[in-house]
Amino acid sequence: MDFGFGFSPSSAADLDKIDLSLYHRMEKVAPDIRTCMGCGSCSATCTGAPFSGMSLRKVILAIQRGKEREAREMLSGCMLCGKCTMVCPRGINTRNLIISLCRYWDSDKREYDFSREVEVKI
């Protein structure tokens, strides 16, 4: 019997299979990344978000999941206005966090191999 709907495959991340090496490297560069609780205050006040898709919360989540390409693309949309720093309940200097992450990738001096990341298309 067809009811007109079906089940979608799960989009949940298997946390046991995630490579945390990128996140641990970023912890050394910007220790404030551990302080973030993912509340989304920064994303809600972001001036660039509606135009560029920038979301610091999603950047940190992407880094935790090893998705360097996604994190880099979102960070490139940051205007460094500092609104996120003013509203952070944990007092994270988010501007400094963003600059530290960008400097790390700029100083890396390597071309990132985006073919390592597998995109699942449904």
Phi and psi at residue 86, to the nearest 5°: -70, -30
Between CA 56 and CA 118 the distance in angstroms is 22
The pTM (predicted TM-score) of the whole model is: 0.73
pLDDT tens per residue, range 23-32: 898 899 889 9
Q: State both tokens at 62.
A: 């992407």
**Closest of 119, 108, 121 to residue 22, by C-alpha:** 108
Residue ranges of the chain with per-residue pLDDT less than 70 = 1, 11, 13, 15, 108-122
For 67: left if phi > 0, alpha if psi spans -120 to 50, otherwise beta; the answer is: beta
Between CA 58 and CA 40 the distance in angstroms is 9
